[in-house]
Structure 1
């Protein structure tokens, strides 16, 4: 985002990144006197959901830089000023969009209750007993918002962390970790709800090893999936759909398309079949309220599609799919998948999903157990279709069968409803004329 004045001075500011109140400055890639080009990355920013590259929207010479690594900024904050090469150039008026490097599934719907990690619950269990050791000083703890959030996630009252090891006594994440370790060593239970912690192992004693840091997306995705696994009683139902006629129609449709037109994949028909099923069974297009007392039914149909990228799995969301044609969905998915692999998805591109499709059809497999992308209540897995002999009452005939795997939140959906929902999807795919009803 830039603002120009009459002297040709351009201001680069933090653009809209999707209602994120606090953004960490990870790296500043420019300095005073640098000559930069349009779209050149000037800084790397990071939220708790994504890492973003902030590009320059003007070419020129950097006059002043207002941020440094470790700072926290928000939307509209001034990053730098640039003396533009041409004060009248139109590109300087274009807002700069941050490029998303990686992000886990994000949603703005109500979140399911979170079961605490063993360390968090253990810390809470003995916090009162540990007060004489690390009692509150009565003075507000000196810590950054990210450290306060980290402490809350572990169930630690940060005011009980007596002293910080950072500059001027600032409390760091290591201080919070050490506090938890100390409290646990003084008598915290070793397990939570019967779940023991996994002991650390020095694998180097068995042979040569190499330590490879996980990408941020994999770390955050892992945390999210762990929360889901601990919170949701999940059931996976497996079935197969006869897509012989659907594939024949799809191939005929693609044969009519020009060389440069986006081809239609089977996933587009699966999306349409899924929406038809969600209309018939509204509980699949819902989220459980945070208190677990109510079901929030959604009147819109946004479908998340899991996309594999070099940095990990991301889930761009196709919005209002019930109002779009097969060809429109194919073009939109191709565009968003390309942006995902290039690390250019915006946070808003991955918000608001109602249900997710995870397709391994291009790789293989016969079945798997996808994990629900909470606060959604179900996810549909798809593996590779194959020709099989199917008995039609008189003889075996070759039919193209598509394996489907439906995982759902058993608190919201019971087994009979899950089976009926899958049957509806199977019927819609076996005879796509049903999608016109």
Structure 2
């Protein structure tokens, strides 16, 4: 075993950032790219990942510490030889020119694409695809002779957990495909030959693991040139030449928000796009200060297309101080994150809400008596605990609601983790109650109370808010009749609960007072039809009206 110091990577144009959360502790086993700590500057927050897999031996930071690029976060015990630094490993010895291409392709794991140019031909290799080995090719998206663009998908691979598309590192004409459907691939494998124009550079330059090419033996017949074209300096206010300069984490963040990175001006060193740049761009688009090229291209067509476009007016700029005294407060970190997610979900998911009511007269009486019987235990049973159990029963009967949309396929989940919205002083969070199908009402109530306390104290970890199958937003303790809750992607539905009220209900002979609970079910219409949503909500109401149905 070897001890490796995990250091803070390049986090953009930040000198020092504060540690606000520790996500692991000594003794934890971590995977490569697993988040270790959360840091926050005065403009943005981000998670620092592990560059290696191993066991945490020693945490070198604590909440409140200031860290910067190169600061040691923790010591990790990994399989291997002598102690080393994860960020400063000794370079490999010089390799002969005949092996230069292979060495560079396999050693440059941090680069998104490993490829070497030989004359006008670029060798396309499998980039770093994370903690996956022997992934299978399931679909070829191009064929020899096709003209491809940078970042255009060439083929699709699939592991036992996920599928992904392998992109082209440069523009050119596909000369030869080295793979076929069914082949198994790993990082660095040669997959295609691409004929590129003179001077064309790949999407990400290859970092050689050997000494400079000048040190190669002179016996090499024709030294191979590596695809390391210089990156032009990025000028503020102008789009960067070639592909945008950003880290994988920033690219992932931009994809989540639907931000075109090639339109974002980077403020980091050498024009690097930071997470803060992506957030500022998103804010500018939402306020109307900036318009994306895609929207601008649609504007002329919308003006003459008989109302086919969305003619949205720019966000009004108002000097509120001319109307009276004002106070300006920055949004909390939680509100910034949740706001971006809510906006994305509302814009990208076609929401429809089905409203219904459940007769909970008998269930409420049972809840009150249960609390009286268990008063000494200190566990208070809420109506939400019963609803969670009823939702699990409905998910089992209607599995389409326990699914997520993944491209052109649905992923059906065989587990039942239920999220519930928690209102905190800093904003809205959604902790997840795991394996609700395997727990009783008392245990669900106890764990909900613990998660709610962690949320109020700001101690929820990222793992506490991941993996939900369906979420519940309850306003029952406040008021209202019905509302439209926003779906928490990648889930396909969310249940809203309003304040229950006594109402006269006709039983066939007379009106009788019944305690009715409003149910608001928002669903993704791409996955769920209206009739299915109505059946789900009706069945949920039947279970809450007669809890014995859960036993069926």
TM-score range, shorter chain: 0.5 to 0.7
**1:244 corresponds to which residue?**
361
- Residue aligning to 2:472: 357
Report the counterpart of residue 40 of structure 2 in structure 1: 26
Aligned residue runs from structure 1 range 132-211, under 5 A: 134=238, 136=240, 154-157=259-262, 188=296, 193-194=309-310, 196=312, 197-211=314-328
* Contact 2:251-2:261 within 8 A present in 1 as well: no
Q: 1:213 aligns with which of 330, 333, 350?
A: 330
**Deviation sequence 1:198-219 (CA, Å, 0-9, x none):** 2433222333222110011111
Decide which structure has greater helix share: 1
**1:401 aligned partner:** 516
Deviations 1:64-118 (A, max 9, x none): 99x744447797369xxxxxxxxxxxxxxxxxxxxxxxxxxxxxx989xxxxxxx
TM-score, length basis structure 1: 0.67
Q: 1:262 — aligned with what?
A: 379
Quick one: which of 523, 532, 536 aligns to 1:421?
A: 536
The answer as to whether partners of 1:21 and 1:74 remain within 8 angstroms in 2 is: no
Give the unaligned 5+ runs of structure 2. Answer: 4-21, 50-56, 77-160, 164-234, 303-308
Q: Which runs of 5+ in 1 are unaligned?
A: 4-11, 28-43, 50-56, 79-108, 112-130
Secondary structure in 1 aligned to 2:74? coil
Asked which structure has the greater RCO (Cα within 8 Å, sep 6+), the reply is 1
Rounded Cα–Cα distance in structure 1 between residues aligned with 2:239 and 2:384: 58
Aligned to 1:91: none
Instruction: Classify the secondary structure of the residue corresponding to 1:262.
Output: coil
| Residue 367 of structure 2 is aligned to residue 369 of structure 1 | no
Aligned-pair distance for 1:359? 0.4
Residue 128 of structure 1 corresponds to none
Distance verdict in 2 for CA 1:72–1:269, change over 3 Å: farther
Whether the 8 Å contact between 2:392 and 2:437 is mirrored in structure 1 is yes
Is the CA contact 1:13–1:77 (under 8 Å) kept in the aligned structure 2? no
Q: Secondary structure at the match of 1:157?
A: helix
C-alpha distance in structure 2 between counterparts of 1:240 and 1:266, whole Å: 14
Task: Give the paired residue count.
Answer: 344
| 8 Å contact from structure 2 (residues 345, 489) kept in 1 | yes
Structure 1 vs Structure 2 CA RMSD: 4.2
Q: How far did residue 137 of structure 1 move?
A: 5.7
Name the structure 2 match of 1:47: 47
Structure 2 residue aligned with 1:430, among 532, 537, 545? 545
Q: CA deviation at 1:346?
A: 1.4
- Pairwise CA distance, 1:277: 0.8
Classify 1:72/1:425 alpha carbon distance in 2 versus 1 (closer, same or farther; 3 Å): farther
| Residue 332 of structure 1, CA deviation | 0.7
Supply the distance in 2 between the matched residues of 1:151 and 1:434 (Cα, whole angstroms): 45
Separation in 2 of the partners of 1:149 and 1:63? 26
In structure 2, the residue matched to 1:40 is: none
SS at match of 2:482: coil
Contact 2:244-2:262 at 8 Å conserved across structures: no
Distance 1:323 1:182 in 2: 50
TM-score by length of 2: 0.54
Q: Which residue is equivalent to 2:497?
A: 382
Q: Deviations over 1:349-377 (max 9, x none)?
A: 11110000100001111111101111100
SS in 1 for 2:444: helix
